[in-house]
Amino acid sequence: AGGNPFFLRELVRAQRRGGAFPESVLATVQARLDALDAKARRVLRAASVLGVRFFEGAVDALVGAEESRLHVPRLLEALRAEGLVEPVASRLPGERELRFGSALVRDACYATLTEDDRRRGHRLAARWLAEHGEDDAALLARHLDEAALPEEAAPRHLEAARRALAADDLEAVVRHGVRARRASDPRVAAAAAVLEGEARIWAGEQAEARRAAHFALEALRSGESAWLDAACVWLDASAALGVATGVEALAERLVGLTDVDPLDHAQALARAVPPLVFLERSALAADVERRATELARGTVDASLLEARLANARALRAVMEGDLVAATDAFRASAEAFEAAGAARWACSQRANLGSKLLELGRLEAARAELEAALATAREGPFPYVVALAELSLGIARHLAGDHEGALAVESSSVEAWAGRIGDPRLESAARSALAEILAALGRGDDAWTEASLAVHQTAGMGPARAAALAVLARLALDDGDAGQALALAEEATALASREPMLDRELYLAAVLADALVANDRRAEGRRVAASAWAKLAPSAARLDPEARAAFLERVPEHRRLAAHLR
């Protein structure tokens, strides 16, 4: 029986009847079906078009006028007595629903239909289901696809994609979105492209997301809701890919829109802030944030808008070096996204919150946030957030002394960024973190390789390149090459002076101070440390004594800076 209970049951039945044992499951099923009345077989074939589950009324519609309406219920009851079908709780009011006793029976019945019969059956099934209140867009789309009616199927696929995105089923969004984009109606195709692009962002497929968003931007009217969504997806994907071409023009176009719903406009502008920051357009990002805040005044039912504005405030605080404000804003953003039912965004913000808690020296709290975010992202699944949480969790484990555990999770993050996701900025950050972990494990050559790759990934990205160079400088310093360490640290500092760093600013200052001292330039090293200390002092002053101690003593670069000032 090959472990198949139905097959075993049918073999026992065949033996009792004195017949020969069939040689396959299909033969067993077919032998059983051949013994049925022709009308019963016809009913089963009609039911097979609908799937493993089917409605009595739909079968009656598919059988058609050749059989009287009374025959179908009677025949189905006889088939139920034979164990071939069984009733189930119906999801359509007033309609009796049944299912095949085994999918094997359904498949065997369906296999006997001609191509024309299948197309006709699926067309009738789609019509009957729609007329009787079926609201499963994916099911209706499947029947219309099988009926070779792509134009009728496209709007159903579009609706299925919308529902899948609301349910965080990214694979289903892409699957239905791709099919809906085949529509001849450009608005249906464009709306599907926006949904597909959004899903691909979270799946880590940035290049495909950017192409889908570009398609939608070209097809939609500037300023309408779907166009705003397409613009945001295009900006997000561009930032992830490190492609700045066209970003300023689109952002300025967003700001200058008129006759747009204020809430939609404000949400789009607030969402546009992070990619502008990541692409080192901080002045424009500030202008966009101000305009979003202006539009937000007086809006109602704006929990999602507040979540996006809080995220924008968090990034502004990061650029200003205010870790406490950034942490508070990321927490507020996560909570607002949760209140709005935006699970993907809330999960992403929890990962960002964990990263900032690390920078505050709150290692246990950071690890708890990151592990929770990682679990949620894996369950999603949200591949982009998985890699994001792993990046910071690797650092958290490393700082806690769990270098082997850190190596495993950080390697996974690097693999994701370098592979399917393709985000050079975050790949560089993950490789830099991996380099420090490898160094702690005594694998100096491997650490240098990863740190060098991190620098290579950031060509043209000033702040990100500065962060990568800082780690390379630290490795050179630890290896005893003070001259190279200083050269690398000074190169990084020059880059950082042109655009605010999103992270590792104080790490770079500590490396530069250490390198200056190692090159017998102690007074200069002390001045660098004092300047950096002055930047972290305001954040420290806002913390309670216990949190302040963690901030100053549990973050390695803070300890190094303090050592220069003793």
Span 24-44, mean pLDDT? 79
> What digits encode the pLDDT tens for the residues 113-135?
999 999 999 999 999 999 999 99
Q: What is the mean pLDDT of residues 330-345?
A: 94
What is the tens place of the pLDDT at every residue in 267-305?
999 999 999 988 889 899 999 999 999 998 877 667 889
The whole-number pLDDT of residue 470 equals 97
Q: Cα 364 vs. chain centroid, distance in angstroms?
A: 26
Give the model's confidence band at 26: pLDDT under 50 very low, under 70 low, under 90 confident, else very high: low
User: What is the C-alpha separation between 269 and 512, in angstroms, rounded?
Assistant: 37
Nearest one of 219, 223, 171 to 194, comparing CA atoms: 219
Q: Which CATH architecture has domain 413-564?
A: Alpha Horseshoe (1.25)
Strands of 244-320 (E only): list them: none
> Three-state DSSP class for 441?
coil
pLDDT surpasses 70 at 400: yes
Q: Rounded distance, CA 167 to CA 161, Å?
A: 10
81-113 pLDDT per residue, tens: 988 999 999 999 999 999 998 888 898 899 989
The residues, any chain, with a CB within 8 Å of residue 44's CB and separated by 6 or more, are 33, 36, 79, 84, 85, 105, 109
Average pLDDT over residues 337-354: 94
Q: What's the confidence (pLDDT) of residue 1?
A: 46
Query: What is the band of 17 on the pLDDT scale with cuts at 50, 70, 90?
Result: low
User: pLDDT higher for 50 or 71?
Assistant: 50
Hey, what's the torsion of the CAs at 507, 509, 512, 513, to 10 degrees?
Answer: -110
State yes or no: pLDDT of 12 exceeds 90: no
Half-sphere exposure of 264 (CA within 13 A, CB side): 15
Whether the ω angle into residue 22 lies within 30 degrees of 0, i.e. cis, is no
Domain 5-146: state its class.
mainly alpha
Give CATH 1.25.40.10 domain extents, the chain. Answer: 413-564
Give the confidence band of 427 by pLDDT, cuts at 50, 70, 90: very high
| pLDDT surpassing 60 at residue 19 | no
Find the mean pLDDT for residues 341-346.
92
Tell whether the model's pLDDT for residue 67 goes beyond 80: no
Copy the structure tokens of residue 418. 């370098």
Instruction: Please give the Cα distance from 3 to 245 (Å, whole number).
Output: 59
Phi, psi dihedral angles at 459 (to 5 degrees): -60, 125
- Enumerate the CATH 1.10.10 domain ranges in the chain, comma separated: 5-146
**Looking at residues 469-487, what average pLDDT do you find?**
97
The residues facing 88 across adjacent strands are 97
Point out the least confidently predicted range of 140-149, 416-425, 511-520.
416-425
Range among 135-139, 319-323, 339-343, 377-381 with highest mean pLDDT value: 135-139
Q: What is the mean pLDDT of residues 441-448?
A: 96
pTM over the 0.85 mark: no
Q: Indicate the pLDDT class of residue 2, thresholds 50, 70 and 90.
A: very low
Task: Evaluate the CA torsion angle 8, 13, 15, 21 in order and state its sign.
Answer: negative
